[in-house]
Structure 1
Amino acid sequence: MAMLGSALGLRCTVRGLTAVGRRRAGWLALGAVAIGTGIFTMHFIGMMGFTSPALPIGYDTTISYASLALAILVVGLGLFLVGRRHTSVPALLTGGVVTGLGVAGMHYLGMAGMRMEGSLAYDPVIVALSVVVAVVAATAALWFAVAARSLGAALGAGVIMAVAVNGMHYLGMGALTLHAHTEAVGLGGRAPLETLMPILIGPIVLLILVGFVVGLDPMTADELNTRSRGVGTPGRPVGRVAAPQRG
């Protein structure tokens, strides 16, 4: 799911770099939705593997969806920084930092939505390392996406972004210690699938719809030629090229 969301999101970002005006904004926004939703679904599918023998674990729906909104908004800010008219190395670095922070913010806000008779504690060093992983890998993914000249490079960017999402998630989980507020053990609880699937249905459907939009509006030959000439790479503008003056 992380790879699917990342590949779709970065594909929309590349698509946005060849567009202008509202179309550019639309594609970048759609990319933020794809990446944010991919982060969200990967997180909660991953949480199906997290159980406690002592405590039944539930999730606050409002906070869970707030983490989805946070991911989309923050990642969107990062993509819009990269998708500015004159893409530059500082914009890529800033966009990577912001996008990485969106990945981390979604995870830790989603964890704050856990409901149990216990409390969570984190190792601050591992938490900081998880954020660094998210930022570095997200920056690399955006760089590859912007500089992509082939399908293989674009898919590679999606893989790198998926590494950012998964690496950050599981490092964050490695930093976690759960403290039970009760001495009772073996209480069990609802199955993780039963608990989390209602939360996941909407975002999964949304990710599928993004895939349909991307598939129904492929890049045209002119746009592909624009990419192959290097328009939209760091330091080069994207948009209309002025006709040469005559006379």
Structure 2
Amino acid sequence: MDHAAFGWLTPLLSYVMACIGAALGLRCTVRALSATGRSRRNWLLTAASAIGTGIWTMHFVAMLGFATTGTEIRYDVPLTILSLLVAMIVVGAGVFAVGYSRDRARALVLGGLTTGLGVASMHYLGMAALRLHGTVHYDPLMVGLSVLIAVVAATAALWAGLNIKSPVAVTVASLVMGAAVSSMHYTGMFAVSVHVTPSGASLPGATAMQFIFPLAVGLGSYLFLTSAFVALSPTAGEREASASAQRPVESAAH
């Protein structure tokens, strides 16, 4: 098996996507905690979609570099899309738990556990979507380690969302989170062994370039555009400062 058929391109690009998703999710969570009502809900939804999309894109960009000698690899389309939905829904549950709970410590533990298990579920659902000539086996110890890394990474991400406010700190946290998510992915991949059964039969599903690559590009574009929107939108503090600056002007006009 080869986990980097294109050299360092796919591991590096997948890490970048994980970092962007984490950074955007953390910034949205920070915005949510300083907002109320519908605005808080919308920021949390954006955070969940960003983190879920970033993790999913990281996984499948990395999978573009996965190859096994003696067999082609295809992907079951419905299962692959299901893995994306699972990532966003379960990450959303964890983010909302932290965003609305009054007991932050309890929410952090439950949210981290839920989100981490969701990330692991996304990974192994994505692996279940693999179609190849042969059978896939897993090392239980490495699988368990990958799940543990996912839970720890998710808990750390939610903790960062609650406690880290400055853009510089968010950037550092997102780099660490990107490394943690990438570690979880490759730990899970090292748990895999493939017993190839050569066959001339055609495999069901879509190739990575037919399906995974276009979808990853689309989701990556979503992350970049949403990042630009979040970066350009004023924070609650900036809006208050702007409103305060306008009040003396309005008073003078009257």
* TM-score bin, normalised by smaller chain: 0.7 to 0.9
Give the number of equivalent residue pairs: 220
Deviations 1:9-63 (A, max 9, x none): 1111111111111111111111010011111111111011110110000112221
In the alignment, what sits opposite 1:151? 167
State percent identity of aligned pairs.
Answer: 46
In the alignment, what sits opposite 2:129? 113
The change in CA–CA distance for 1:215 and 1:125 in structure 2 (over 3 A counts) is same
Q: Normalized per residue, which structure has more helix? A: 2
- Decide whether the 8 Å contact of 2:94 with 2:115 is kept in 1: yes
Amino acid at match of 2:221: V
Question: Per-residue deviation at 1:194?
Answer: 5.3
Stretch moving more, 149-158 or 27-36: 149-158
Mapped pair 1:198 → 2:214 = yes
Amino acid at match of 1:12: C
TM-score (norm 2): 0.80
The change in CA–CA distance for 1:199 and 1:115 in structure 2 (over 3 A counts) is farther
RMSD: 2.2
The change in CA–CA distance for 1:91 and 1:62 in structure 2 (over 3 A counts) is same
In the alignment, what sits opposite 1:43? 59
Amino acid at match of 2:230: V
Mapped pair 1:29 → 2:66 = no
- Decide whether the 8 Å contact of 1:145 with 1:153 is kept in 2: no
Deviations 1:118-158 (A, max 9, x none): 22111111101101011112212221221114222212321
Question: Per-residue deviation at 1:117?
Answer: 1.6
Aligned equivalents of 1:224, 1:155: Cα separation in 2 = 25
Question: Per-residue deviation at 1:208?
Answer: 2.5
Aligned equivalents of 1:175, 1:168: Cα separation in 2 = 11
Question: Per-residue deviation at 1:87?
Answer: 4.7
The change in CA–CA distance for 1:151 and 1:212 in structure 2 (over 3 A counts) is closer
The change in CA–CA distance for 1:223 and 1:159 in structure 2 (over 3 A counts) is farther
The change in CA–CA distance for 1:61 and 1:199 in structure 2 (over 3 A counts) is farther
The change in CA–CA distance for 1:106 and 1:122 in structure 2 (over 3 A counts) is same
TM-score (norm 1): 0.82
Aligned equivalents of 1:151, 1:195: Cα separation in 2 = 35
Gaps (5+ residues) in structure 2? Answer: 1-16, 201-205, 242-254
In the alignment, what sits opposite 2:229? 213
Gaps (5+ residues) in structure 1? Answer: 185-189, 226-247
Aligned equivalents of 1:156, 1:141: Cα separation in 2 = 12
Deviations 1:158-201 (A, max 9, x none): 123212311110000000011222278xxxxx985456312323
- Decide whether the 8 Å contact of 1:12 with 1:214 is kept in 2: yes
The change in CA–CA distance for 1:109 and 1:96 in structure 2 (over 3 A counts) is same
Aligned equivalents of 2:167, 2:146: Cα separation in 1 = 29
Mapped pair 1:171 → 2:187 = yes
Mapped pair 1:182 → 2:198 = yes
Instruction: Look up the SS of the partner of 1:54 in the other structure.
Output: coil
Aligned equivalents of 1:191, 1:61: Cα separation in 2 = 10
- Decide whether the 8 Å contact of 1:135 with 1:164 is kept in 2: no
Aligned equivalents of 1:129, 1:85: Cα separation in 2 = 29
The change in CA–CA distance for 1:62 and 1:201 in structure 2 (over 3 A counts) is farther
The change in CA–CA distance for 1:129 and 1:61 in structure 2 (over 3 A counts) is same
- Decide whether the 8 Å contact of 2:57 with 2:216 is kept in 1: yes
